[in-house]
């Protein structure tokens, strides 16, 4: 029984991995760390999600996308629950996902406690970059400029 429910959860997880983040479509909502837990009862499938930033405008949409996707795969009685704890952190993003962010043109976040505070240009890999604005197109990013290739780029703020 235990193994059975684990299999169901893994199946749901693999379905949710097909949903791209609405604002950064290069990565999916599971690797972003937004999907926290899947709880399967006999009748109800509950997915706990957490926002990256408290006011993340995409979180409601993410809930809707999860519902739509699971309905498409035949699940019924889906419950989306918003949780705030543990607090979302960029440290949950894996190295593999960071590479995806970088090739999409977003400089990936450093680890929070890392001594390396250098921000790398995602286009030419130079670390000779400067901060232009601490706030940018979404709450989770800041705006920078590469002093070598002169391209502007966004950095995923570590939080």
Q: At what angle do helices 59-72 and 2-16 cross, to 10 degrees?
A: 120
Read off the tokens for 46: 């509950």
Cα end-to-end distance, the chain, whole Å: 39
Nearest-approach distance from CB 42 to another protein, in angstroms: 25
Stretch that binds another protein, among 11-19, 27-35, 71-79, 81-89 (CB under 8 A): 81-89
Interaction of residue 159 with another protein, rule CB under 8 A? yes
Pairing, β 78-82 against β 45-49? parallel
Stretch that binds another protein, among 37-45, 84-92, 118-126, 146-154 (CB under 8 A): 84-92
Residues 6+ apart with CB under 8 A from 5: 40
Interaction of residue 136 with another protein, rule CB under 8 A? yes
Residues 45-64 that bind another protein (CB under 8 A): 51, 53-57
Would you tell me which residues interact with another protein (CB under 8 A)? Answer: 51, 53-57, 82-88, 132-136, 139, 143, 159
């Amino acid at each position: 029984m235990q193994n059975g429910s684990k299999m169901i959860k893994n199946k749901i997880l693999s379905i949710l991995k097909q949903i791209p983040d609405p604002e950064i479509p290069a990565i999916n909502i599971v690797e972003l760390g937004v999907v926290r837990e899947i709880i399967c009862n006999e009748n109800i499938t509950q997915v706990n999600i957490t926002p990256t930033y408290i006011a993340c405008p995409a979180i409601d949409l993410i809930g809707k996308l999860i519902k739509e996707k699971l309905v498409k795969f035949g699940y019924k009685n889906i419950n989306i629950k918003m949780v705030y704890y543990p607090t979302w952190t960029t440290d949950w993003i894996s190295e593999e996902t960071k590479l995806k962010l970088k090739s999409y043109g977003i400089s990936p976040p450093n680890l929070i406690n890392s001594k390396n505070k250098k921000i790398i240009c995602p286009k030419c890999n130079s670390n000779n970059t400067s901060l232009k604005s601490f706030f940018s197109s979404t709450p989770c990013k800041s705006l920078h400029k590469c002093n070598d290739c002169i391209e502007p780029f966004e950095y995923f703020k570590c939080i």
